């Protein structure tokens, strides 16, 4: 057995962190950034997200038709994008499509913008149509742990306009559950609070294994958890008030 001690400072890291207007980013959230493809050494994602994306692109032959538009950004880059967009597009457009610096998913290294390959690609609103290879990507995304982060009809919840090109890594099986239940990350992390540790949400995942997902509220004193030594669980902060434990049985 392994004994894990979780302090309230650990809630800011992991694939399920919620970053939006209400929940800013802790500088430590982006860790272990690696390039996704050799052709774009500047486009970085956190290692599990980069590896999942590489497998997904291999499956669909994606890099022939899909371009990487934007991956991890530093706070300074996000600030520059915000300032440029304010100057060029005005405040209304900027607030709809650009996250406030310090509150951008791109600063986590878990999110990316993709565009259909063509000569001119719009940096802020790239074309990512609901047909052809882009649609193939969308249909396989959840299996590899990616969600469309800003869907149509959920603008009042996410605070960002519909962005067909922006994908976020949350990991398996969470992406598949969110897609099946038509939930945004805001709704999903909120819903999981109904499943405290000991009464977790159970379901059979795509790989046939039973998975149990539960929520642990952070406290002033560290939480101690006894978990199996082997690689049969994962833990993520929610960037708000606690942790999400995923156990495979």
Q: Which stretch in 42-50, 125-133, 161-169, 196-204 sits in contact with Zn ion by CB under 5 A?
A: 161-169
Could you say which residues in the range 39-98 bind Zn ion, by CB under 5 A?
Answer: none
Please state the closest distance from residue 156 (CB atom) to Zn ion, in A.
Answer: 19
- The residues pairing with 235 across neighbouring beta strands, listed in sequence order, are 245
Q: Which stretch in 39-47, 134-142, 159-167, 233-241 sits in contact with Zn ion by CB under 5 A?
A: 159-167
Q: Which residue's C-beta sits nearest to Zn ion?
A: 166
Alpha helices per DSSP H over 107-199 = 132-141, 155-158, 174-181, 185-191
Q: What value, to the nearest 5°, has the Cα angle with vertex 164 and ends 158 and 170?
A: 60
Report the distance separating Cα 209 and Cα 205, nearest Å.
Answer: 6
In terms of CB distance, is 152 or 206 closer to Zn ion? 152
Report the distance separating Cα 123 and Cα 79, nearest Å.
Answer: 15
In terms of CB distance, is 166 or 174 closer to Zn ion? 166
In terms of CB distance, is 113 or 247 closer to Zn ion? 113
113 counts as binding Zn ion under rule CB under 5 A: yes
User: Which DSSP string do the residues of 40-71 spell out, in sequence order?
Assistant: -TT-EEEHHHHHHHHHHHHHHTGGGTEEEEE-
Q: Which residues lie closer than 8 Å to 154 by C-beta, 6 or more apart? A: 184
Please state the closest distance from residue 51 (CB atom) to Zn ion, in A.
Answer: 20
Containing H/E element for 80? helix 75-89
Total site size for Zn ion, rule CB under 5 A = 2
Q: Which stretch in 43-51, 109-117, 150-158, 197-205 sits in contact with Zn ion by CB under 5 A?
A: 109-117
DSSP tag of 226? E
Please state the closest distance from residue 227 (CB atom) to Zn ion, in A.
Answer: 34
163 has catalytic annotation: yes
Among 73, 138, 154, 166, binds Zn ion (CB under 5 A): 166
Structure tokens at 156: 């009042």
In terms of CB distance, is 57 or 110 closer to Zn ion? 110
Q: Which residues lie closer than 8 Å to 48 by C-beta, 6 or more apart? A: 15, 145, 169, 171
Please state the closest distance from residue 176 (CB atom) to Zn ion, in A.
Answer: 22
Please state the closest distance from residue 18 (CB atom) to Zn ion, in A.
Answer: 16
In terms of CB distance, is 158 or 246 closer to Zn ion? 158
Other CB atoms closer than 10 Å to residue 76's CB: what's the count? Answer: 9
DSSP tag of 143? G
234 and 248 Cβ atoms separated by less than 8 Å = no
149 counts as binding Zn ion under rule CB under 5 A: no
Q: Please tell me which residue in 31, 163, 187, 247 is annotated as part of the active site.
A: 163
Q: Which stretch in 113-121, 150-158, 170-178, 220-228 sits in contact with Zn ion by CB under 5 A?
A: 113-121
Catalytic residues: 163
Q: What is the contact surface with Zn ion in residues (CB under 5 A)?
A: 113, 166
């Amino acid at each position: 057995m392994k004994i894990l001690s979780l302090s309230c400072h650990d809630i800011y890291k992991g694939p399920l962190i919620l970053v939006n207007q209400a929940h800013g980013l802790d500088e430590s959230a982006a860790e272990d950034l690696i390039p996704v493809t050799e052709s774009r050494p500047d486009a970085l994602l956190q290692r599990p997200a980069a590896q999942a994306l590489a497998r997904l692109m291999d499956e669909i032959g994606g890099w022939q038709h899909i371009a990487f538009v934007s991956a991890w950004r530093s706070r300074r880059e996000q600030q520059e994008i915000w300032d440029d967009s304010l100057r060029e597009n005005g405040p209304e457009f900027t607030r709809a499509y650009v996250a406030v610096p310090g509150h951008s998913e791109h600063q986590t290294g878990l999110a990316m913008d993709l565009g259909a390959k063509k000569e001119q690609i719009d940096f802020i609103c790239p074309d990512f149509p609901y047909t052809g290879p882009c649609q193939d990507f969308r249909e396989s995304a959840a299996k590899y742990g990616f969600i469309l982060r800003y869907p149509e009809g959920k603008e009042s919840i996410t605070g960002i306009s519909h962005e067909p090109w922006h994908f976020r890594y949350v990991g398996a099986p969470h992406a598949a559950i969110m897609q099946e239940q038509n939930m945004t990350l805001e709704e999903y992390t909120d819903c999981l609070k109904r499943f405290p540790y000991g009464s977790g949400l159970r379901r059979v995942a795509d790989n046939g294994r039973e998975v149990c997902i539960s929520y642990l509220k952070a406290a002033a004193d560290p939480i101690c958890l006894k978990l199996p030594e082997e690689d049969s669980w994962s833990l993520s902060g929610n960037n708000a008030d606690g942790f999400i434990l995923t156990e495979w049985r």
